[in-house]
């Protein structure tokens, strides 16, 4: 719904929701882009965003890889500004698996 998309957007810096930008032609895996979450030190979870991820995740391969282009130290420092990076603990109880890699660019 429009309200759910707004809730997801408010959880992200610059209100950039995770958006599908490419889909693999054979296995259907999607590539999404978004901005960093506004979690800060409290590391708040967005239940609406978790629901959104479950809707876009393939039931045949329920694995989501989060590739953060930044060095991990930069992402950690951004928590001081109220932003940060994905907290994998938030996804432990979900129907999909989330893994993360910092690319250090």
Per-residue pLDDT of 80-89, as tens digits, reads 887 888 888 8
Could you state, in order of their start, the residue ranges of all structural domains in the chain? 2-102
- Condensed to tens digits (0 to 9), the pLDDT of residues 17-51 reads 888 888 888 877 788 888 888 875 566 778 888 88
3-state secondary structure of 25: coil
Annotated binding site: 78-81
pTM: predicted TM-score of the whole model, two decimal places: 0.75
* In the chain, % of residues over pLDDT 90: 13
At residue 53 the predicted structure's pLDDT band, cuts being 50, 70 and 90, is confident
Annotated binding site for substrate: 78-81
Which H or E run contains 90? none
3-state secondary structure of 7: helix
- Condensed to tens digits (0 to 9), the pLDDT of residues 55-72 reads 888 777 788 888 889 999
The answer to whether the CB of 40 falls within 8 A of the CB of 82 is yes
């Amino acid at each position: 719904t429009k309200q759910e998309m707004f809730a997801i957007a408010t959880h992200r810096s610059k209100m950039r929701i995770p958006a599908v930008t490419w889909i693999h032609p054979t296995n259907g895996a999607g590539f999404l882009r978004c901005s960093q979450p506004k979690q800060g030190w409290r590391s708040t979870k967005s239940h609406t965003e978790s629901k959104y991820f479950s809707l876009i995740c393939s039931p045949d391969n329920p694995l989501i890889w989060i590739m953060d282009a930044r060095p991990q130290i930069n992402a950690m420092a951004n928590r001081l500004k109220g932003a940060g990076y994905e907290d994998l603990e938030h996804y432990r109880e979900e129907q999909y698996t989330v893994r993360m890699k910092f690319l250090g660019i």
